[in-house]
């Protein structure tokens, strides 16, 4: 077996950053503790130990003291890591940092595209007032999403989508759900050989339409397919065929949305 030089050995003489340390599985924590205590590692595939001199920085968004009390984080490892404790205030408590971080992330995106991008005043105002529950990671995602949705080099308020809280309105959600429910109801009626008029009011599914002897899986798949076709059709129509916006509104990945559209023979949308 070939020996593998791990992260600690690569960082020998320097600093290693352990992000999301609170997510480390309880079964792996003793191994990390052993490295911190003995300052030595054993390579994968090797049988000899190697001394390492590494400064360790660890970060987490969890309350590790609470995790210790719950039994999901070792107390000895907690104390070994907590030599110097620095608490970084959440984004909502340091709003003066928002413009600098937003511009930094936007420059990263723009450089990958080989262009220059900037913020409109209303977009930056929205960034400043957002609560940023997900802190820096949320901001990076919002910036990258806005850059993907923007029609030009200037990010406007219309391009900003702050997670699912800025998803479809209640009316839009109702319209989509109703379209899918009505399609599912018509599919069941078709299986039963019953003609149904187009509905304008709330859709109510009538299970009595399912004819006797019809297999559960066949009936369910027929109804689900009809629902997906109606839902996806309404979704794409609302977003003028834009895959990115449609996926965001539906809470799907772009890949998953494309696969659904392909499976049902629906137009995948040429407007990105």
Distance separating alpha carbons of residues 223 and 189, to the nearest angstrom: 10
CATH of the domain at 152: 1.10.8.60
Distance separating alpha carbons of residues 118 and 123, to the nearest angstrom: 10
Whole-number pLDDT of residue 154: 92
Evaluate whether residue 86 is within a structural domain.
Answer: no
| Total count of domains within the chain | 3
Evaluate whether residue 272 is within a structural domain.
Answer: no
Evaluate whether residue 148 is within a structural domain.
Answer: yes
Residue 153 and residue 177 in one domain: no
Name which of 237, 224, 205 is nearest 264 in CA terms: 224
Whole-number pLDDT of residue 175: 46
Evaluate whether residue 270 is within a structural domain.
Answer: no
Query: Is residue 45 within 8 Å of 3, Cβ to Cβ?
Result: yes
- Cα distances from 145 to residues 22, 36, 203, 245, 270, in angstroms, run 28, 40, 34, 10, 18
Q: Which of 81, 112, 143 is where one domain is finished?
A: 81
Its domain, for residue 107, covers 91-166
Evaluate whether residue 43 is within a structural domain.
Answer: yes
Whole-number pLDDT of residue 206: 53
Residue 39 and residue 57 in one domain: yes
Residue 34 and residue 119 in one domain: no
Q: Which of 123, 147, 166 is where one domain is finished?
A: 166
Whole-number pLDDT of residue 103: 96
Whole-number pLDDT of residue 213: 63
Residue 95 and residue 41 in one domain: no
Residue 63 and residue 117 in one domain: no
Q: Which of 32, 52, 81 is where one domain is finished?
A: 81
Q: Which residues pair with 154 in a beta bridge?
A: 118
Report pLDDT digits (tens) over 130-177: 888 888 989 999 999 888 878 789 998 888 888 644 444 444 444 445
* Residue 27: Cβ within 10 Å count: 7
Query: Is residue 35 within 8 Å of 18, Cβ to Cβ?
Result: no
Residue 156 and residue 187 in one domain: no
Whole-number pLDDT of residue 250: 84
Report pLDDT digits (tens) over 227-265: 788 888 888 888 888 888 888 888 887 878 888 888 888
Whole-number pLDDT of residue 201: 47
Evaluate whether residue 72 is within a structural domain.
Answer: yes
Distance separating alpha carbons of residues 41 and 230, to the nearest angstrom: 58
Residue 174 and residue 162 in one domain: no
Residue 101 and residue 73 in one domain: no
Evaluate whether residue 95 is within a structural domain.
Answer: yes
């Amino acid at each position: 077996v070939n020996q593998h030089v791990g992260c600690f050995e690569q960082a020998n003489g320097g600093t290693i950053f352990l992000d999301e340390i609170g997510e480390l599985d309880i079964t792996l924590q003793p191994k990390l503790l052993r490295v911190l205590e003995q300052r030595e590692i054993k390579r994968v595939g090797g049988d000899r130990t190697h001394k390492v001199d590494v400064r360790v920085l660890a970060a987490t968004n969890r309350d590790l003291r609470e995790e210790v009390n719950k039994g999901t984080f070792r107390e000895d490892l907690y104390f070994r890591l907590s030599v110097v404790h620095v608490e970084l205030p959440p984004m909502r408590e340091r709003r003066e940092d928002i413009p600098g971080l937003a511009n930094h992330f936007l420059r990263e995106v723009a450089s990958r595209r080989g262009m220059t991008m900037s913020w409109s005043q209303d977009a930056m105002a929205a960034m400043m007032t957002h609560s940023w529950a997900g802190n820096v990671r949320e901001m990076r995602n919002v910036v990258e999403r806005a850059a993907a949705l923007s029609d030009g080099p200037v990010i406007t308020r219309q391009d900003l989508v702050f997670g699912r809280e800025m998803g479809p309105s209640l009316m839009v959600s109702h319209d989509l759900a109703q379209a899918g429910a009505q399609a599912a109801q018509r599919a069941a009626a078709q299986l039963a050989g019953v003609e149904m008029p187009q509905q304008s009011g709330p859709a109510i599914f009538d299970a009595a339409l399912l004819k006797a002897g019809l297999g559960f899986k066949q009936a369910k798949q027929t109804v689900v397919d009809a629902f997906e076709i109606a839902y996806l059709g309404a979704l794409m129509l609302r977003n003028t065929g834009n895959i990115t916006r449609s996926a965001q509104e539906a809470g799907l990945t772009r890949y998953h949305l494309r696969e659904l559209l392909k499976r049902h023979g629906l137009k995948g949308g040429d407007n990105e």
